[in-house]
Amino acid sequence: MEFREVIRRRRMVRHYRPDSVPSEVLERILAAALRAPSAGYAQGQHLVVVTDPARRLRIAELAGESEHVARGLEPWLSRAPVHLLLCCREEDYHERYRESDKVRPDGEERPWPVPYWYLDAGCTLMLILLAAVEEGLGAGFLGGHRLEGVGRLLGIPPEVQVLGLVTLGTPGRVRRTRSERRGPRPVTEILHRGRWNPPPAR
Ligand SMILES: Cc1cc2nc3c(=O)[nH]c(=O)nc-3n(C[C@H](O)[C@H](O)[C@H](O)COP(=O)(O)O)c2cc1C
């Protein structure tokens, strides 16, 4: 599939058919994820791969799936055959940036203009989402705000932050969420060519 077609087709998928994901397909998606860039090549992005049905069900329970179902939404997490927990370990960056080629001449770690560990995790996420489309699959992302208790369930150490959960599988029916029905923002509000666009006159 052409790269631009992969980009065009990518949508957050929250409903899956029961088909499992063949292990060689999953391995190709994981290999794509491992190609993500990272600041100083610190590689502080971590993934926990969960395919066991009972464990996926437990994750879905912890994320409060039953509340969504009670509100008339389709089960999302419990039906997705693969869960990838997207995590980052900030200390991987501090350790890397204290190495001789990165540390300041006075021996201090450089100040961080932004928390690069979150940027890098976003790069990993994007590669997974696109690699899934290339494999004819769909992927969705649930933010970490719903994942309390999942770290403990999976033995994720306390210094590792769980940023969210990527679901993978064969897409079922695509239903737009309320935020998606808002439609895209006017391009001139978000794409600034040459200099920041002034806000439109109201
Ligand atoms: C950082 C991040 C967090 C998100 N969290 C959630 C979430 O918790 N639940 C959800 O249904 N969608 C979540 N989404 C998906 C967005 O709602 C979705 O990407 C957006 O509406 C645009 O739709 P599209 O990705 O299908 O183009 C998240 C996306 C990102 C990038």
Q: Residue of the nearest CA to atom 3 in ligand 1?
A: 143
Chain centroid to Cα 160, Å, comes to: 15
Distance CA 60, CA 89 (A): 24
**What separation in Å is there between the alpha carbon of 140 and the centre of ligand 1?**
7
What would the mean pLDDT of 131-149 be, rounded to a whole number?
Answer: 96
Residue 93 dihedral angles phi and psi, to the nearest 5°? -75, -45
* Other C-beta atoms lying within 10 Å of the C-beta of residue 120: 23
What would the mean pLDDT of 73-101 be, rounded to a whole number?
Answer: 97
Distance CA 31, CA 124 (A): 11
Which domains are seen in the chain, by residue range? 3-190 (3.40.109.10)
Lowest-confidence range among 53-67, 131-145, 149-163, 179-193?
A: 179-193
Does the pLDDT at position 198 exceed 90? no
Distance CA 87, CA 84 (A): 9
Distance CA 12, CA 30 (A): 18
Q: Residue of the nearest CA to atom 7 in ligand 1?
A: 142
For β-strands 138-143 and 82-88, DSSP reports them as unpaired
* Other C-beta atoms lying within 10 Å of the C-beta of residue 42: 22
Q: List strands edge to edge, sheet with 45-50.
A: 45-50, 82-88, 161-169, 138-143
**Protein residues with CB under 6 Å of any ligand 1 atom:** 11-12, 14, 141-143, 177, 179-180
Does the pLDDT at position 158 exceed 90? yes
SS3 133: helix
Q: Residue of the nearest CA to atom 2 in ligand 1?
A: 143
Confidence of residue 50 (pLDDT cuts 50, 70, 90): very high
Q: Residue of the nearest CA to atom 24 in ligand 1?
A: 11
Ligand 1 atom closest to the CA of 12, numbered from 1:
26
CB 139 within 8 A of CB 129: yes
Entry pTM: 0.95
What would the mean pLDDT of 23-34 be, rounded to a whole number?
Answer: 98
Q: What are the angstrom distances between the C-alpha of 126 and each of 28, 36, 88, 105, 120? A: 15, 9, 15, 35, 10
Does the pLDDT at position 179 exceed 80? no
**What separation in Å is there between the alpha carbon of 183 and the centre of ligand 1?**
13
Q: Given ligand 1 and candidates 12, 71, 181, which is best to mutate, with the most ligand atoms within 8 Å of its CB?
A: 12
**What separation in Å is there between the alpha carbon of 85 and the centre of ligand 1?**
15
